Amino acid sequence: MTKAIQQLLTLLLIAIGSSVYAVDLPRHDPVPGGIAIVDLNINSDKAPQVYFQKRRVMVLKNGKTWMAVVGLPLSIKAGKHKLKLQLPKGTSVGFKTKAKDYATRHITITNKRMVSPTKADIERHFKEKPLIVAALKTWTEQYDVPTSFILPVQGRLSSQFGLRRIYNKQDRIRRHTGLDIAAPVGTPIVAPARGKVIRSGNYFFTGGTVFLDHGQGLITMYCHLSKIEVKTGEVLQQGKRIGEVGMTGRVSGPHLHWVVSLNNTKVEPKLFLSKITHQ
């Protein structure tokens, strides 16, 4: 091997080594329903364990330091907050959040049972709810977490995340904890990033539903499907078909209700999109 080739290989290895820990982080937007990217100023080889509001938080190594990727609840107040680190005991790292106002939208649902469920409907919902809660609480230890998403379906962004929604002129306000993408029934739905199917089924409010686990508390949920084409335990690559758009469950028309949950907190899905859309 010539000296020139040895030098070239050395430079190549250095370049590869310097990029091993580079990650494509979601967009930093520290508002209610947003994401806070917090530099932990820790450059150890071992990932630190970090908690926010007693929930485990994703940590990714970016360059030489560890970053916390924190899902912020819609109820969070503007101001100073702290992340707690497991070691050294009692260590904390502070970050700030800003206020954000979300609009109110009135929606008409023709199926009255989806607004005022019967006793049997309520009993069914409370049997299904623990299954949904358990799926969203899933934590998988995984170093390589995909955080650069594509849209799971091609269509119009019909209802934005965070809206205050009033159904059929009732007094109760419900928060919209996902992103709605309107598309005709049968439109293909694909995985926005690599993930494992951890649950699928048909539920009263969400209809045909699939959950994907992307690692470290990053869970995505796909609702109102007319057809589910995956099985529990299946690992999907980005772009792999999940199923088809439908109008099952509580809907006012055919669409995908797409939920992104981070540290068991529902956040703005568009913060994970590699190409931010302004639709």
Instruction: Give 207-234 as a DSSP string.
Output: EEEEEEEEETTEEEEEEEEEEE---TT-
Last residue of a domain, one of 77, 97, 117: 97
pLDDT on residue 87: 76
178 with 193, same domain: the answer is: yes
Domain, as residue range, for 75: 3-97
Pair (26, 116) in one structural domain? no
Q: 65 lies in a domain? A: yes
Count how many domains the chain has. Answer: 2
In a shared domain, residues 126 and 246: yes
Last-in-domain residue among 51, 70, 97: 97
Q: How far is it between the farthest Cα atoms of the chain?
A: 80
Please tell me the pTM assigned to this model.
0.87
Low-confidence ranges of the chain (pLDDT < 50): 5-20, 278-279
- What does the pLDDT read at residue 128? 96
Q: Residue 142: give its domain's CATH number.
A: 2.70.70.10
Q: Is 123 in the same domain as 248?
A: yes
SS3 content of the chain, % helix, strand, coil (to 5): 15, 40, 45
Asked if the structure places residue 48 within a domain, the reply is: yes
Q: Considering the domain boundaries, does residue 279 fall inside one?
A: no
Q: What is the pLDDT of residue 277?
A: 52
Per-residue model confidence as pLDDT tens digits over 211-251? 999 999 999 999 999 999 999 999 999 999 999 999 999 88
The answer to whether position 278 is within a domain reads no
- Residue 55 CA to residue 58 CA, distance in Å, equals 10
Q: What's the pLDDT score for residue 16?
A: 38
Looking at residue 172, its pLDDT comes to 59
